[in-house]
Structure 1
Amino acid sequence: MAHITLTNPNLPGITGLLDYSKVTAVPLLNLAEALLRSDSSLNSAECELIAAHVSYLNDCHFCHTSHAAAAVAHLGCDASLIDDIKENFASTPISPKLRALLDIATKVQIGGKNVLPEDIAKAREHQATDREIHDTVLIASAFCMYNRYVDGLGTWAPQQKEEYLEMGQEMALVGYEAQY
């Protein structure tokens, strides 16, 4: 049960909060759209993986699983990817560049000052551009905020990853632009 009385308590995670406050829903959704689906050399699947990874590190089940499900939809793979994120992508075939960017996202999740010049150099060694490094840091930072918003207000979340696959498909196809 959420810590506040939501307009529709049946909506899970951030969806209930967006429905509760249309004033904050618009900029939050527009930010998610810009971060996860904008014109960048990182594709939407990679951006969703960064968001899901940071959300997992923040122990935000709703955000981790919903954004991992969106990555599954973008990649056309099976739901095992959701669990691979929990294992730090140990068995997931990702590029060395994405692995270096995920390492940067991990450092941002701990605290921005934990990102060191050698982390940036490693990403650049794998051809990460300034824009990709920028976008990774911004996605990681924003998802720390989104995760704290969802969990700080005690929203509920479905527990089974399969319950997120339809939501992930919609996120991947429709996106996040505010409909309010």
Structure 2
Amino acid sequence: MPYIDLPEGFPGIRSLFMYSPDTAKPLNDLVQTLLHDPATSTLTPGERELIAAYTSSLNECKYCATTHGAIAKYQLGGDGDVVNGVIKDPATANISSKLKTLLNIAARVQQSGKSVTPADIDAARKQGATDKEIHDTVLIAATFCLFNRYVDGLGTWTPDDPAVYDAIGKQRASEGYLTKPFRITQQ
């Protein structure tokens, strides 16, 4: 049960965006740029979604972790095993060594920005990460700490049905973040 009066039928952050359109616009623009727009990063949209899903899982934000995991699955050609592997343990997941080091940086940011060390940055560079990719990883992780706390701090509705997240994932992977959400029948 949400802590404030939110529109029914819109889970997680979507209900907050419906509640406060003035704050929704810049936040939607930010997430569109960070995760979806192909020209803004040398990381693929799927890799960026994995960073968001992994950070959200570390923050125990079910809505964001599951939603961005589903989007990542569609961005990665429907491969849910990669997403599950990253959430379980990025070090053993079937992803590049570079992405493993970037996910390590994301995990450090999730703890505290000051937890990122020069050794973490050097490890990522040794695996081929550019300054832009390191920048984007830190910004995605920091932004998702904000989003996760926004979603959970107001007790938004978090569906239990995996099909809901799959539908959201499919829509967001193809349309991005600037389209209107669809209403979902609450369980």
* TM-score of Structure 1 vs Structure 2, range by shorter chain: over 0.9
Partner of 1:28 in structure 2? 27
Where structure 2 has 5 or more consecutive residues not aligned to the other structure, the ranges are 181-187
Partner of 1:111 in structure 2? 112
Partner of 2:134 in structure 1? 133
Alignment map for 1:45-56 (pairs within 5 Å): 45-56=46-57
**Which amino acid letter does the alignment assign opposite residue 36 of structure 1?**
L
Q: C-alpha displacement at 1:86, in angstroms?
A: 2.9
Partner of 1:19 in structure 2? 18
**Which amino acid letter does the alignment assign opposite residue 31 of structure 2?**
A
1:51-94 residue CA offsets vs partner (Å, 9 max, x unmatched)? 00000000000000000100000112343444323312355310
Measured in 2, the distance between the counterparts of 1:92 and 1:15 equals 30
Q: Say what the alpha-carbon RMSD is for the aligned residues.
A: 1.6
**Which amino acid letter does the alignment assign opposite residue 4 of structure 1?**
I
Helix, strand or coil: the match of 1:24? helix
**Which amino acid letter does the alignment assign opposite residue 127 of structure 2?**
H
Cα distance change, pair 164–81 in 1 and its aligned pair in 2 (3 A): farther
Partner of 1:98 in structure 2? 99
* Poorly superposed stretches of 4+, deviation over 6 Å: none
Q: Is the 8 A contact 1:26 1:178 kept in 2?
A: no
Q: Is the 8 A contact 2:82 2:94 kept in 1?
A: no
Alignment map for 1:59-74 (pairs within 5 Å): 59-74=60-75
- Report the identity percentage: 48
Aligned pairs, how many? 179
Alignment map for 1:67-82 (pairs within 5 Å): 67-82=68-83
Partner of 1:166 in structure 2? 167
Where structure 1 has 5 or more consecutive residues not aligned to the other structure, the ranges are none
Cα distance change, pair 123–91 in 1 and its aligned pair in 2 (3 A): closer
Q: Is the 8 A contact 2:59 2:145 kept in 1?
A: yes
**Which amino acid letter does the alignment assign opposite residue 156 of structure 2?**
T
**Which amino acid letter does the alignment assign opposite residue 143 of structure 2?**
A
Measured in 2, the distance between the counterparts of 1:158 and 1:80 equals 22
TM-score normalised to the size of structure 2? Answer: 0.90
Partner of 2:155 in structure 1? 154
Alignment map for 1:32-47 (pairs within 5 Å): 32-38=31-37, 39=39, 40-47=41-48
Helix, strand or coil: the match of 2:5? coil
Q: C-alpha displacement at 1:176, in angstroms?
A: 1.0
TM-score normalised to the size of structure 1? Answer: 0.94
